């Protein structure tokens, strides 16, 4: 009985204070580009400096819902609500494309993923990679993509 109680306390503590994840939960955050053309964008528009500022729209209520779906109830400043498929790659602002990415996981964290997003965006805009490929690679496993295109 004592072991069961300790196990329940441990599981409850992990849920209340989840360990930051390097990859999002694929069920909660499968990634989403904008196939429905909610934000119709061609490459010329996508590759225009400042484009993402015009489409970034993640209300606080949605951010809180994303945190809650991952069991994060405190320490919000240790995370950013990140787009799995970045806006730079025509990702969208839906819950299925958002996840709490940690600043604390080292060496891979939200800041490193930002570097990858910039690299993929540049490749797409220079015609070195199709947009669909960049979206697929970052949504399937951004760490593999990071090691392939950034870390080299």
Per-residue pLDDT of 55-70, as tens digits, reads: 899 999 999 999 999 9
User: What are residue 88's phi and psi, to 5 degrees?
Assistant: -60, -20
pLDDT at 135 over 80: yes
pLDDT at 38: 47
Q: CA 132 to CA 139: how far, in whole Å?
A: 11
Residues facing residue 33 across a β-bridge: 91
More confident residue, 36 or 130: 130
pLDDT at 32: 73
pLDDT at 18 over 90: no
Site of tokens 């729209």:
57
């Amino acid at each position: 009985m004592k072991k069961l109680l300790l196990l329940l306390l441990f599981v409850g503590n992990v849920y209340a204070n989840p360990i930051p994840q390097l990859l999002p939960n694929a069920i909660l955050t499968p990634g989403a580009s904008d196939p429905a053309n909610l934000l119709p964008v061609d490459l010329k528009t996508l590759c225009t400096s400042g484009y993402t500022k015009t489409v970034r729209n993640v209300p606080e209520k949605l951010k809180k819902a994303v945190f809650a779906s991952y069991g994060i109830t405190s320490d919000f400043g240790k995370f950013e609500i990140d787009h799995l498929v970045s806006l730079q790659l025509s990702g969208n602002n839906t819950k299925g494309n958002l996840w709490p990415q940690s600043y604390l996981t080292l060496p891979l964290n939200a800041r490193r993923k930002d570097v990858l997003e910039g690299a993929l965006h540049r490749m797409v805009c220079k015609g070195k990679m199709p947009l669909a490929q960049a979206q697929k690679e970052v949504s399937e496993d951004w760490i593999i993509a990071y090691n392939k295109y950034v870390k080299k």
